[in-house]
Structure 1
Amino acid sequence: MSEPYAIRLEHIWTSFGDKVVHKDINLALPKGEILGLVGASGCGKTVLLREIIGLQIPNKGEIFVMGESLKTISSSHGKRLRNHCGVLFQKGALFSVLNVFENIAFPLRELGVEDEEFIKRLVFMNLENVGLSAKDAWLKPADLSGGMTKRVALARTLILEPSLLLLDEPTSGLDPISSQDFVDLLSGLHQDLKFTVILVTHDLDILRDLCTQVAVLADQQLVAFGSLASILACQHPFVQRYFHNQRAQRVFSYQAKTQPQTQQGQLNG
């Protein structure tokens, strides 16, 4: 029987010296979901992303990615697993000395792909997938708008056809139109490619329009996890402040009529 979960976190504890960041975090995310990870600044959201892709090791606990334990996996198998995980950093992290084509092609060249026609075909296909044209391939990152930078970074992320995408504040710095365009783009790609997404965000509109699941970090713990409607029903003080302030109430007003019981009680038992 295949593993139904893209990610499983079991009793994750993370600390830096005396500072505890994560305290007994448990989460099981089914494949194909789009999870919005929210919390106050400094609560450890990006740290959790780094742990999921193996760039950082938690002090205690175990992380499973596509059924594979990061604690026991071999280094060669771990590298292959990471090739199935795409990461989009907050500011795109494009290489400034490379043009768009070479930025997108970079993961293929790192894997040792030498067939230039194959690389060219994949690069232009992914440019088209993210709504850019062939002529954009020869631009440098400095010539790109914020929205184009995000699209190029997403194209690079998708070049290896990952089954898991990890996005850190994907709409940060974008104007409302570019932000909505990016959300629509990601939603369309998700419907076509069926990948799993974990995204760190403070954008309430993304939580409403894109995410199928929401996880809330507060007080070093995962205090709520489930559908947006269930999160809105959670009584934790941070959740109340975050999701029921004046602006949030305007954004989530259509959700107010249905608020099923939150899964909070199942999280850290």
Structure 2
Amino acid sequence: MTDGEVIRMAHVWTRFGENLVHRDISLSLGRGQILGVVGASGCGKTVLMREMIGLQTPTQGQVWLLGESLAEADARRKQQLRNRCGVLFQGGALFSALSVFDNIAFPLRELKTLDEELIARLVCMKLAMVGLGETDALLMPAELSGGMVKRAALARALIMEPEVLFLDEPTSGLDPVLGEEFVGLLGQLHRELGFTVVMVTHDLDTLSDLCTCVAVLAGQQLVSYGTLDDAIACAHPFARDFFHGKRAQRILGRSD
């Protein structure tokens, strides 16, 4: 693994019983890049992301995260590596019984190394960073709009100052205006903080506006890995349907 690589996967195969999910997948992601992972529903996009962060072990092959082999790391070391990553789950996955403040503070409190005064300062900083105010911190998840849920979940994902940010369908459930605002926020934070991003998405606007590289999963394999132009040029039927439909042509400004 080279110094500039944040994630590397080599000849990864994934099986669940008789079901083959991934077939011989290899890729590497450099520091500061934004990777968009696309593919049909059920093709293993989220599973691939879980393998990158060490939450799931592939059936065969090797995965490196932040320069270290996950296969050689014990449970304690894997957790230390995960502490250098942030995750925004699909739908936000906020704890319904905790306020926004307590949701964001939760990862820091789990460390048991910071006092409450410092935790409060850090939470307020992250709230401001994602465009939420101190009054929003007192709300419960059920009182939040869809856009506010995403922002609160993003603040929680950023609270540990992650080097790598994993996002699972970050704009799902948002209307076009809120989705555009959220993509703009992600782009701004990426420019300011310089973290590496892996995101599972089906949103063409997000791919076009944010991603520096695109991975296309289809037929259990990685059929394209490179720039958005590489994905658009991919001859696989899924890629042709995804990147050359009428909506894609309108968003990407291309025509066949």
Distance across 2 between alignment mates of 1:174 and 1:246: 21
Shift in alpha-carbon separation, 1:47–1:131, aligned structure 2, 3 A: same
> SS of the counterpart of 2:71?
coil
Offset from partner CA, 1:71-95 (integer Å, 9 cap, x none): 0012222111100111110011101
> SS of the counterpart of 2:23?
strand
Aligned to 1:26: 26
> SS of the counterpart of 2:135?
helix
Aligned to 1:133: 133
> SS of the counterpart of 1:183?
helix
In the comparison of the two structures, how many residue pairs are matched? 256
> SS of the counterpart of 1:134?
coil
Following superposition, the deviation at residue 2 of structure 1 comes to 6.3
Gaps of 5+ in 2: none
Aligned to 1:266: none
Aligned to 1:260: none
Aligned to 2:178: 178
Distance across 1 between alignment mates of 2:13 and 2:234: 23
Distance across 1 between alignment mates of 2:210 and 2:90: 18
> SS of the counterpart of 1:9?
strand
Following superposition, the deviation at residue 127 of structure 1 comes to 0.1
Distance across 2 between alignment mates of 1:176 and 1:239: 23
Aligned to 1:158: 158
Offset from partner CA, 1:97-142 (integer Å, 9 cap, x none): 1101100000000011341110011000000000011111100000
Distance across 2 between alignment mates of 1:152 and 1:10: 34
CA RMSD of aligned residues (A): 1.4
Distance across 1 between alignment mates of 2:17 and 2:127: 44
Following superposition, the deviation at residue 149 of structure 1 comes to 0.2
Alignment of 1:78-93 (within 5 A): 78-93=78-93
Q: Percent identity?
A: 60
Aligned to 2:72: 72
Distance across 1 between alignment mates of 2:53 and 2:198: 11
Aligned to 1:190: 190
> SS of the counterpart of 2:123?
helix
Distance across 2 between alignment mates of 1:96 and 1:250: 39
Distance across 1 between alignment mates of 2:137 and 2:2: 39
Aligned to 1:50: 50
Following superposition, the deviation at residue 50 of structure 1 comes to 1.1
Gaps of 5+ in 1: 258-269
Residue identity matched to 1:145:
S
> SS of the counterpart of 1:165?
strand
Aligned to 1:95: 95
> SS of the counterpart of 1:162?
coil
Task: Tell whether the 8 Å contact from 1:3 to 1:66 is kept in structure 2 after alignment.
Answer: no
Offset from partner CA, 1:45-87 (integer Å, 9 cap, x none): 0111111111111100000011110000122221111001111
Offset from partner CA, 1:150-199 (integer Å, 9 cap, x none): 00000000000000011000010001111011000000000010000000
Aligned to 2:5: 5
